[in-house]
Amino acid sequence: MRHVSLTITANKQVIPSIYEMRLEGDVKGIERPGQFVNVAINGLFLRRPFSISDYDAEGLTLLYKTVGVGSRKMAAMGGGEKLDILNGLGNGFSSETEYSRMFLAGGGIGIAPLYKLAKELKVKDKIVSVALCFNTANEVFYAERFRDLGVEVYVATVDGSIGCKGYVTNLIDERGIEFDYFYACGPMPMIKSICQSVDKPGEVSLEARMGCGFGICMGCSIPIKSGYARICKEGPVFRKEDLVW
């Protein structure tokens, strides 16, 4: 964990309620896709956790949804403003695996950490397919960004207004997607469904409300097969086989 001040260089709306913020500065604490940052926002007591969608030597990119006071305040920020951040938090995805066919599934804003992961897997010459899952067509975002990486992109919507109708498990069956290993991030019902119905190994990123964000308050603890784990510290990424449903 590193305590840093990063400068906003861009903050734009991707679709209504979804924003993309580019921050530049010291990001040495970030080592894996799937890690997150905890952002201090003026006037609010608790920091807000946000997934890192991309990063490089100069900075990082956050994809976030405006759902409350904190995220709405972030959406109103402009270039040149600075954010007080705890970065490099959490346990991220591992791209070091012997498997060759990788399947990534993201639900809504859970898509965010999968973008950098897809980049890394492509660099390692993996065959990558990505499922982007939404409630309806006007919520779809980042599909073209993933296609630009050279990965196979599938879209599913609950109402069937675009792509496959239903959920990610429906999409897997309907399109006959074949893979050796999977990664997933999104709402808990989606994660549970994938883990229980897909007979393949994988890693999932869990969402949770957090207090401290670095393992002190224990507020995001969950039972796992070996005992208990903190989503902010031992997670947010866990191996499928370690979780209890």
pLDDT at 38: 96
**Domains in the chain, start-ordered, CATH in brackets?**
2-89 (2.40.30.10), 101-205 (3.40.50.80)
Note the pLDDT of residue 182: 98
pLDDT at residue 53, as a whole number = 98
pTM of the model: 0.96
- Positions of the chain with pLDDT lower than 70, given as ranges: none
Q: Are 162 and 154 in contact (CB under 8 A)?
A: no
Nearest-5° angle of CA 51, CA 163, CA 134? 30
Residue whose C-alpha is closest to residue 124's, from 151, 154, 152, 89: 151
pLDDT at 1: 82
- Please tell me the predicted confidence (pLDDT) of residue 208: 85
pLDDT number for residue 217 = 93
